[in-house]
Structure 1
Amino acid sequence: MSHANLLALLLPPVSYTPSAPTLAGELGAEGLALDTAQRSANRVTAAVTPYFAEQLLPDWERVCGITPPAGAGYQQRLQTVLTKLAETGGLSIPYFKKLAAGMGYQITIDEPQPFRAGVGCAGDRIQVADIVWVWQVTVQGAGGRVYRLRVGQSVAGERLSQFGDAVIETVLNELKPAHTFVYFVYKGA
């Protein structure tokens, strides 16, 4: 039942005629304002959890300190928010591998080392000394995720499908130590 009908039922039955043109217009306008407020309140209530945030997803991103990459779809942005909320903190390789596994990625992390006398062998790659601040994340799979347009999970105006791993790259770049550089390699399944 609309709010206009409810407001009409609140009128004294003998004193007012809800179908009178002036009163019907007033009840319609007030009812429409209340209907709009009710829909807005329902959206806010649903956004208590990011799963149903819809138009309020940017607020979740703001609270989590996330800047979505340009062109990221709703599903990618939602996955980034959910990952940010699930993170517990850590700087070890097992932590990052577990975090990626929780997002549905299988990764390996390699830390290139500079050539050192007594440790390196003939044929080893010679790296610069600062290579100790670099780490390589190899993402296993088909070279990235495919995000397809889905009813209830995407919004109007998005591409039918998007390819890429902006989610894993954004999360790991935000959590990595500030003095390090991470680069990503994608390997097909």
Structure 2
Amino acid sequence: MSKDNATLLALLLPPVAYATQQPLIEAELSAEGNAFDAVNLLSESIVKAVTPIYAANLLSDWERVLGIGSNADMTYQQRLEKVLLKIAETGGLSIPYFKKLASRLGYSIEIVEPTAFHVGINRCGDRLMIEGTMWTWGVVISGLKVKPYYFRTGSSAVGEHLSVFADAVIESVFNDLKPAHTFCYFVYQDS
């Protein structure tokens, strides 16, 4: 119980009409003081949530406002990093922009784009180009230890891949920022 809030409420009562030491009035003032204490605590957490660094349980509101889908598999630190990255992003569609973005996240990447058949470069028998290939690009991530997930009977579901190698942070950030008409695939290499 906060003596300050209960005392302030007692001072608001007319001094002659109410005796604040009576048990019923004292209990009412104590309950109302506790309610104001709860409001004070909640308001402090809301004030701290002005910046996502101190948002704590209000981080989901930042994700909602920024249009970031929250992933249940991501840790709080990963979610916070994703929010901070979204706030800091300046936008761009170039390869240097995505490479700089990855380096800010702590990744070492190269971006590869499939090329069409070129006379003088390619040879007879090489594939010309599959339709839609010009809208794909790959992100080669090197030096990252990614935990592999293998299909296991009893703990995996029908239709899942036999093995999955993925890093949720970089893949979700790149898939959120890539042009909508493109397909981005990820390749993980040991350095």
Fold shared per TM-score above 0.5: yes
Judge conservation of contact 1:4–1:28 (CA < 8 Å) in 2.
yes
| Aligned-partner Cα distance in 2 for 1:92–1:44 | 38
Where in structure 1 do 4 or more consecutive aligned residues deviate above 4 Å?
8-19, 121-127
- SS of corresponding position for 1:26: helix
Judge conservation of contact 2:114–2:136 (CA < 8 Å) in 1.
yes
Unaligned runs of 5+ in 2: 148-164
Aligned-pair distance for 1:180?
0.9
Q: Does 1:22 align with 2:24?
A: yes
Match of 2:39 in 1: 37
**Aligned partner of 1:48 among 25, 47, 50:** 50
Match of 1:159 in 2: none
Match of 1:154 in 2: none
- SS of corresponding position for 1:78: helix
Instruction: Tell me: CA distance 1:187–1:20, structure 2 relative to 1, closer, same or farther (3 Å).
Output: farther
Judge conservation of contact 2:93–2:178 (CA < 8 Å) in 1.
yes
Unaligned runs of 5+ in 1: 146-162
| Aligned-partner Cα distance in 2 for 1:164–1:9 | 62
Identity %: 54
- SS of corresponding position for 1:35: helix
Judge conservation of contact 2:60–2:70 (CA < 8 Å) in 1.
no
Q: Indicate the structure whose relative CO is greater, using CA pairs within 8 Å and at least 6 residues apart.
A: 1
| Aligned-partner Cα distance in 1 for 2:59–2:182 | 30
Question: Which of these two proteins has the greater Rg computed from alpha carbons?
Answer: 2
Judge conservation of contact 2:109–2:142 (CA < 8 Å) in 1.
yes
1:151-170 correspondence to structure 2 within 5 Å: 165-170=167-172
TM-score (ref. length: structure 2): 0.77
1:67-78 correspondence to structure 2 within 5 Å: 67-78=69-80
Amino acid in the other structure paired with 2:109:
I
How many residues end up aligned between the 2 structures? 172
1:49-128 correspondence to structure 2 within 5 Å: 49-121=51-123, 127-128=129-130
- Which stretch of the first structure deviates more once superposed, 170-179 or 2-11? 2-11
Instruction: Tell me: CA distance 1:187–1:17, structure 2 relative to 1, closer, same or farther (3 Å).
Output: farther
- SS of corresponding position for 2:145: coil
Match of 1:181 in 2: 183
| Aligned-partner Cα distance in 2 for 1:55–1:168 | 23
Aligned-pair distance for 1:143?
2.9
Match of 2:145 in 1: 143
| Aligned-partner Cα distance in 1 for 2:10–2:187 | 65
| Superposition CA RMSD, Å | 2.8
Kindly provide the CA deviation profile for residues 64-94 of structure 1, in whole angstroms up to 9, marking residues without a partner as x. 1111223222211111111111111111100
Kindly provide the CA deviation profile for residues 149-184 of structure 1, in whole angstroms up to 9, marking residues without a partner as x. xxxxxxxxxxxxxx9521211111111111110011
